[in-house]
Structure 1
Amino acid sequence: HAVGVINVPFTYPPEPVNGFQISGMDTPSEKSAFIHPPALREELKREFGNMNLETRFLGSMNNDERRDKALAGLESCDEQWLRAALYLMEKHPVDVMMCTFMSIDTVQHYFWHYMDEKHFQHDPSGAHKYRDAIRNVYERLDRAVGKFLEKLPGDSALCVVSDHGGGPVSDRLVYLNRYLAQLGLLKYRTHTRSGFARARQKLIRKVFEIIRGSLTSDQKKWLADKLPLVREKFEGAYTSFSNIDWSATKAFCSEVLAYPPSISINLEGVYPEGIVKPAEYEELRAFIKQKLSELRDPRDGSSIIPRVYRREELFEGPFASEAPDLVLDWWSEKAFTTSLSFPEEGDQPVLKIRRREPMGQPEWSATHRLEGIVIMRGPHIRKSALIQGARLVDMAPTLLYLLGDEIPAGLDGRILTDFFEAEFLQSHPVQAEEPSAAAPAEKEGAPYNAKEAAQVEERLKALGYID
C-alpha cells in the first residue's frame, strides 16, 4: 500500500515508505531532514512556506500575552497540518493516510484549570478569557474532520482516534524517591559539603526554575547552544538522580520523567551498581507494593495509589524487560502527581495536599486518562454502533482487516468486529499470517546527534513530558 504519515509523534527520522512521511514532535528542528521523500520538502515549502514544528511559549506562559501567543501558535499549527494534509490527499494520493493534531493534547494540559471550577488551581480571574480555550480547539478539529470528509472519495473510511483521554491533575503530590529513602530502600550520598555549598545547590535549582518559566523556547535554545556546560551544571543540580548512592540503593523512581510514575529495582546484573539479588526480587516487589498501598489521603482515608502493576501484567514481547519493574496507576480520577525528591528534604512528608497558589513556571493542570475515543465512518461501517472495550492496540489489526490485508502473527490487539456490518464480516474472513521465529528488526544508526537530542529534550520539557 501507498501510505502517508503526517506529524505522528516519535517517527523521526522518517522512513523511506512507499508514499510520504513527515515526522512529528521528536523532530529536532525545522532544519532537520524530517520529510520523505526529500523532494516533497521543497514542494511543500513552495506551497506553504516553512513548516512550523512546535508551538512557542509553552514553557513560558506566565502572562496573558504569552498564553495568547501559545493559543495562536496551536491554531496556526492545526491550520498548517490541515492545509498540508488536504494538499497531499489531492496531489499525492495514497491508500492510507494518518495525520496527527497535537493541539488538543497540549491545550488540555495547560488550560484545564480555567474551565474546571472544581480544580484546585481554578483561576476565576482568567476563566472569563480562557474558559473556552479547550472547547475552541475541539470545535476547530471537528471542522477539520468535516474538511477531510469533503475531500475523501466515497469509498473511503475515516477514523478519528485519540491515544488517551484527559482530566485534571490531582492535588495529591507524592515524593516517591523520598518515600523509598524513608523505607530504607534508597540512600543518598553522604555529603561533606559546607552549608554554603548546599545553599548554592538550592540557588542553582531556583534559578533553573526561573529560567524555565520565563524564557521562550528560542531563548532557551540559544542559551543551550552557547553555554552547554552551564546547561549541564544546572540540570545536574536539578536532577534527583545526581545524589543517589547506587551501591546502597535497592529501588528508585525516575522522577525526571513526569509520566508514567514507576519504580525500578536496582537488580544485580541489570544495572552497573545493582545490589538486589535475583532471589530477593519478588519479595522486594511485594514489599514495595504493600507500602505504596498504605499511602492514604488524610481527608477521607482513600488510597493515593489505586493499584500497582507488576511489569509483566502490562508488557510482553522481546523488549518487556526494559520496562520498569512496578508501574503505578496514576490515570484514575483522583490518583496523584509526583515531584522531585532531594536529600536535604528527606525528612519532609512523603505526601502533600496542594492548595491553590500562584502558578510559577507553566505546569500541567490536566493530565492523561486511560479512556480515549475511537470513531469510524465509511462503507461497511455500522451506523450508530457503540464499541465496547476497544484499546489503542486494536487499531492496527482493525485497519489491516479493513484493507483486506493479512494480520501479522503475534500482532497485539484484536479486530474490532463491532464496527463492521454483518454482511461485510461474512464476506471478508480474517486472514492471518503463519507465526515466524524471526527476531524483530532493529533500526540502523543513531537518529540524533548531540545537538538534535538536546533540541528534542527541550521540546519534551516544554510540553511537560520531562521535568
Structure 2
Amino acid sequence: MPVRSYNVLVVGLDGATFDLMLPWIEQGHLPHLNRILRSGARSRLESTIPPITPCAWSSFMTGKNPGKHGLFDFIEPDAKGGFQFTNASYRDGETIWGCLSRHGRRVGVVNVPMTYPPEPVNGFLISGLDTPHEHSGYMYPVEIRQELKDAGIRYRIDQQHLGNMRTNARRRQQLASIFDAETSRTAALQKLSDGRDCDFRMIVYGATDQVQHHFWHFMDETHDKYDADGAKEFRHAIRDTYMHCDEQLGLLLDECDDDTIVIVMSDHGFGPMSNVRLRMNQILRDAGLLTFDEAAAPGRMKQAVAGWIDRLLRSTLSSDMKRTIAGLFPRLRVWFENLDEAKIDWTKTSAYVNEAYRSSPAIWLNRLQDSSDAEVRRMRDDIEHLLLSLVDPKTGGSVISTCHRPQNIYHGPHTAKAPDLLPSWWEDGFLLDQSVAGPNGPPAVERSTAPLEGGVEFAASHRLDGVLMMSGGPIRAEFEFENARIIDVAPTVLYLMGMPIPDDMDGRVLVEALDEEFVETNPIDFEQVEADSIDDSDDARRGFTQDESELIAKRLQALGYIK
C-alpha cells in the first residue's frame, strides 16, 4: 500500500451508546451508521473519569489526560472560596485543529464543546455550548456569521428551555427545536466547507445527550421512574433522535470522497439513573466535616416554597417574559435563587460538595484552610470510608461503589486542581439532591418516590464507555477491537493525515484497527513539543464576565446540569 495521507471527517454524537445504537442498526433504523459499521472498525471508547463533557472533549482534542490539560468540569474553585465557570481558555495544551493549522492544514470545526472563545485556526471554527450568548464572538473568523446569515441559516448555540418540559406539548416543542438546531449545524458545516478545501472537518451533535437525559424513563420499562402514560407518545423519542442524527450523517457522507476517513465517536456513554438521592453536604455535616450557617440558611419551608415558585414560573412564563423579569429585577432574582440553597460556614468546614452543580458530584476539601499533606490524606481516607459505607434504604447494599482520587487517575501539572474525591455516580446511578440545614431536614440518603420532574431531574446520565467507529482508507472492514480510549482519537487522526504526533500526547495510534501493510509502510512519526509554562492567572484566561457567567448558568440549568 503506497505512502499517503487522508482527509478526515469526525462526527461526534454526544453521549451515544452502543447499547442503543447497535440494536437500532440491526433493526434498520440507522442506515448511515450501518454503512460505517459494516465498512469499518469499531470499539467501545473509554472516556475520562469523570465521564463528563468538559473533561472528555478536552481530552479528545488534546490527546491528553485531564492532569495535563487542566479542564475537569464546567466549574472549578476560585481564589475566594467560591466557584467559577470554565471555558476553553482554562485548558492547557494544543488542540488537534491547532496542531493541524500549525502544519498548514485547513480545518473546519462546528459545535465541539469547550471551544469558546474560538481559537484562530487555518479555516473556520464555531464554538460549542460554553458560548455565553448568541451575540458573543463565538465564530472564527468573524465574517462567517454574516455568511451564514446571508445563506438563510439561523444558527443556534444550544437548547435554552429544556427545563420547561412539564407537559407533552412542551416536550413535543423541545424535540422539534432540538432537531431544527442539529439540522442548522449540518447546514452551517456544509455552507462553510463549500469553497474551502478542508483537510479536517468535525461536527458534534448534542441532541443525543440532551434527549437521553430527559426521555429515558419513557423508553425503559425497568426504570425506577418509568412513565407509562408519557411512553404512549415519547417511547421512541431517543430512537427518533438517533435517527435524525443519522440523517445528518448521511448528508455529510454523501460529500465524502474515497480519500476521506470518517470517524463517528461519542465523549461518553449513557444509561438510566436510579431513584436514589443523596444530600452530600448533610452527610458531611453529620460526620462533623461541614457546618451550615443556619442563621443565613433558609428553612425547609422557604426552600420548598422557593422550589414551588420556581417550577410554577418556569412552566407558565414565556421565554421573553423570563428575560424581561430577570433584566428588570436582577436583585430579586439573586434573592430568590439564594433561597433554594443551604449556606455553608466556611470557617468551620473541612469538606463540601457544590450541590448547585448536580451533574457530577465531587468532594472538595476546603482549600482556604491551611492543611498539611498528612491531614489531607487523613481527611480523604475518612471521607472515602464514610461514602463507601452509605446504605441504600431499599436494598441494604452500598450506594457508592468507588471513590476515585486524582493522584491515582491523573498525571500532569494540573492534577492538584482536581476534586479531592470523585464518587462513582456513573457506575452507581444515584443523583444529588439539595441539602437542608437544621435538625429536621429530609434523609441524607433516600429513595425518591415522586414522579420524575420533567426537564429538571435526569432520567439517565453518563457512562464510562462511549462509541468509536472508523471507516475508509486503511481502516479494517467489519472489525471489532477493544481498549480504545478517548485520548487515542487525536493521535490516530494525525497519523492517518500523515502528520507527526506531538510527543506530549498521552494517547496512542490505534494501529490494531488499521491495515497491517499501511502501518508497515507508514511508520509513526513524533515531533518534540516544548512544555508550555503553566499560567493559571486571570490574565492567562478569557474568564466570563458576571453577565456571561449568569448566561452560562442559565444554559446549564436549562440542560439540567445545575439546580
For the pair 1:296 / 2:391, whether they are aligned, the reply is: yes
Match of 2:373 in 1: 278
Q: Distance in 1 between matches of 2:300 and 2:443?
A: 21
Match of 1:369 in 2: 463
Tell me the secondary structure at the aligned position of residue 457 of structure 2: coil
Counterpart residue identity of residue 312, structure 1: Q
- The alignment of Structure 1 onto Structure 2 pairs a total of residues equal to 457
Contact 1:115 1:127 in 2 (8 A): yes
Contact 2:500 2:525 in 1 (8 A): yes
Match of 1:402 in 2: 496
For the pair 1:150 / 2:254, whether they are aligned, the reply is: yes
For the pair 1:382 / 2:476, whether they are aligned, the reply is: yes
Pairwise CA distance, 1:56: 4.4
Tell me the secondary structure at the aligned position of residue 352 of structure 2: strand
- Per-residue CA distance 1:247-278 (angstroms, 9 max, x = gap): 11111111111122111112xxx32xx15443
Match of 1:434 in 2: 528
Contact 2:293 2:344 in 1 (8 A): yes
Q: Distance in 2 between matches of 1:441 and 1:23?
A: 23
For the pair 1:176 / 2:280, whether they are aligned, the reply is: yes
Q: Distance in 2 between matches of 1:371 and 1:315?
A: 18
Q: Distance in 2 between matches of 1:113 and 1:73?
A: 21
Pairwise CA distance, 1:49: 3.8
Counterpart residue identity of residue 328, structure 2: K
Tell me the secondary structure at the aligned position of residue 503 of structure 2: coil
For the pair 1:307 / 2:402, whether they are aligned, the reply is: yes
Q: Distance in 2 between matches of 1:264 and 1:63?
A: 37
Match of 1:351 in 2: 445
- Per-residue CA distance 1:161-188 (angstroms, 9 max, x = gap): 1001111112111111110101111111
Q: Distance in 2 between matches of 1:431 and 1:116?
A: 47
Counterpart residue identity of residue 118, structure 2: P
| Deviates further, 208-217 or 452-461 | 208-217
Pairwise CA distance, 1:87: 2.3
Pairwise CA distance, 1:67: 0.8
Match of 1:246 in 2: 346
Match of 1:453 in 2: 549
Tell me the secondary structure at the aligned position of residue 166 of structure 1: strand
Pairwise CA distance, 1:52: 2.0
Matches within 5 A, 1:149-228: 149-191=253-295, 199-200=301-302, 202-228=304-330
Match of 1:101 in 2: 205
Q: Distance in 2 between matches of 1:447 and 1:189?
A: 30
Contact 2:159 2:558 in 1 (8 A): no
- TM-score, length of structure 2 as denominator length: 0.77
For the pair 1:463 / 2:563, whether they are aligned, the reply is: no
Tell me the secondary structure at the aligned position of residue 91 of structure 1: coil
Unmatched runs of 5 consecutive residues or more in structure 1: none
- TM-score, length of structure 1 as denominator length: 0.92
Aligned residues: percent identity?
35
Contact 1:213 1:362 in 2 (8 A): no
Match of 1:20 in 2: 124
Contact 2:351 2:365 in 1 (8 A): yes
Q: Distance in 2 between matches of 1:311 and 1:221?
A: 40
Q: Distance in 1 between matches of 2:392 and 2:302?
A: 35
Q: Distance in 1 between matches of 2:452 and 2:561?
A: 22
- Per-residue CA distance 1:403-455 (angstroms, 9 max, x = gap): 12221122122221122110111111111223634325778453533222211
Q: Distance in 2 between matches of 1:316 and 1:358?
A: 39
Pairwise CA distance, 1:89: 2.7
| Cα 1:57/1:304, change in 2 over 3 Å | same
Tell me the secondary structure at the aligned position of residue 119 of structure 2: coil
Q: Distance in 2 between matches of 1:217 and 1:401?
A: 47
Tell me the secondary structure at the aligned position of residue 106 of structure 1: helix
- Per-residue CA distance 1:330-363 (angstroms, 9 max, x = gap): 111x431111112036654221012252636632
| Cα 1:411/1:186, change in 2 over 3 Å | same
| Deviates further, 70-79 or 56-65 | 56-65
Counterpart residue identity of residue 333, structure 2: R
Match of 1:44 in 2: 148
Q: Distance in 1 between matches of 2:439 and 2:370?
A: 25
| Cα 1:412/1:441, change in 2 over 3 Å | farther
Equivalent residue in structure 2 for 1:31, among 127, 135, 149: 135
Contact 2:303 2:341 in 1 (8 A): no
| Cα 1:128/1:206, change in 2 over 3 Å | closer
- Per-residue CA distance 1:281-339 (angstroms, 9 max, x = gap): 1111111111111112233332211100111122222222111100110111x431111
Equivalent residue in structure 1 for 2:158, among 35, 40, 54: 54
Counterpart residue identity of residue 466, structure 1: I
Q: Distance in 2 between matches of 1:435 and 1:37?
A: 27
CA RMSD of aligned residues (A): 2.2
Q: Which has the higher contact order (CA 8 A, sep 6+)?
A: 2
Match of 1:230 in 2: 332
Tell me the secondary structure at the aligned position of residue 121 of structure 1: coil
Tell me the secondary structure at the aligned position of residue 260 of structure 2: coil
Tell me the secondary structure at the aligned position of residue 254 of structure 2: helix
Pairwise CA distance, 1:43: 0.9
Contact 1:56 1:216 in 2 (8 A): no
Contact 2:300 2:436 in 1 (8 A): no
Tell me the secondary structure at the aligned position of residue 323 of structure 2: helix
Q: Distance in 1 between matches of 2:452 and 2:562?
A: 22
Contact 1:249 1:275 in 2 (8 A): no
Tell me the secondary structure at the aligned position of residue 170 of structure 1: coil
Tell me the secondary structure at the aligned position of residue 526 of structure 2: coil
Matches within 5 A, 1:69-148: 69-148=173-252
Counterpart residue identity of residue 182, structure 1: D
Tell me the secondary structure at the aligned position of residue 412 of structure 1: coil
Match of 2:8 in 1: none
